[in-house]
Amino acid sequence: MKNADLLTITNALQRLGFEVRVDALPDLAEELAQIADSTENMNFEKRLKLSRMHSSSYFRDYIDKKDRGIDSDMLKELLTLSFMEKRENIVFWGSPGTGKSWLAQMIATSACKANKRVRWVDFQPLYRELENLKTNMRRFESRLNYYSKFDLLCIDEFLNCPLEDSYAIQEFFKRIDDIGQCTLIICCQSNPINWSKLFSITSFGESIRGRILCRAKLINTKGEDLRLCK
């Protein structure tokens, strides 16, 4: 803790009528710093739990492999979360096992550390949930608003299931776009160029694709399956 901070603490305690021993202030400052760190760690762990991520990832675990379409400098920039300030979505797309979810978890972990409200969801359960709720408009609207108010929403395995109907998921992305609070990280095996072809109604697919990609950074992860390289 800086001398200026110690002086501020001293003056504040004296105004409250406390007799202050200047020589004891460094110890007090250290204790206060430890309490602050402990509180922040508890809050961070709570935010991680509330995000419902499968696991957390950290930059220290990252191995720089430029042949995978992303290097450490690019990743460091993403970890500053500047894309969230600009409401710029991130789309990781590529073959299975190329690190899409792992990279998204790394960014989401940093967002939790930065006190952002983060939610992780797999696309298939999300799609099924919305499909089941669309017959109850009050609950459906409530759930759309729930997802739209996170700072960062990470959708893994995007479009990785059959789509019998597109209305509910179209309304989902429309609500996120209309409220304008939530930034998206999308992990998908399919090239974004082909997304609209995966919907039963192509125009719905084009609408969703446009909402996600109009402000998005696309990152194509490459290379062999990381799970087979261990």
Q: What is the mean pLDDT of residues 178-198?
A: 95
pTM, 2 dp = 0.80
Q: Which CATH number fits domain 53-228: 3.30.450.30, 3.40.1190.20, 3.30.420.10, 3.40.50.300?
A: 3.40.50.300
State the alpha helices, DSSP H only, in 16-156: 25-51, 72-79, 82-85, 100-113, 123-133, 137-148
Check residue 230 and give its pLDDT.
55
What are the tens digits of pLDDT across the range 105-139? 999 999 999 999 999 999 999 999 999 999 999 99
Q: Identify residue 125 by its one-letter amino acid code.
A: P
The closest alpha carbon to 68, from 230, 192, 226, belongs to: 226
- Is 60 exceeded by the pLDDT of residue 214? yes
152 neighbors 83 (Cβ within 8 angstroms): no
Q: Whole-number mean pLDDT of the chain?
A: 85
Spacing of C-alpha 220 from chain mean position: 18
What are the tens digits of pLDDT across the range 35-93? 556 666 678 889 989 998 887 665 556 555 556 667 778 888 999 999 999 999 999 99
Task: Give 57 or 153, the one with higher predicted confidence.
Answer: 153
Check residue 175 and give its pLDDT.
96
Check residue 201 and give its pLDDT.
87
How far apart, in whole angstroms, are the C-alpha atoms of residue 121 and residue 8? 45
166 neighbors 203 (Cβ within 8 angstroms): no
Check residue 71 and give its pLDDT.
75
Burial 190-200 (b: 16+ CB within 10 A, else e): eebeebbebbe
How far apart, in whole angstroms, are the C-alpha atoms of residue 203 and residue 206? 5
What are the tens digits of pLDDT across the range 9-24? 666 666 666 665 656 5
pLDDT > 90: what percent of the chain? 57
The closest alpha carbon to 77, from 88, 65, 61, 93, belongs to: 88
Q: What is the mean pLDDT of residues 179-187?
A: 95
Residue 44 has φ and ψ, to the nearest 5°, of: -65, -45
Check residue 60 and give its pLDDT.
57
- Report which secondary-structure segment, H or E, holds 10: helix 3-15
Q: What angle do CA 197, 160, 217 make, to 5 degrees?
A: 75
Sequence spans of domains, the chain: 3-50, 53-228
Percentage helix, strand, coil, to 5, in the chain? 60, 15, 30
Check residue 97 and give its pLDDT.
87
Check residue 58 and give its pLDDT.
59
Rounded to a whole number, what is the largest CA-CA distance in the chain?
A: 75
The residues, ordered by sequence, that sit 6+ positions from 9 with a Cβ below 8 Å of its Cβ are 25, 28, 29
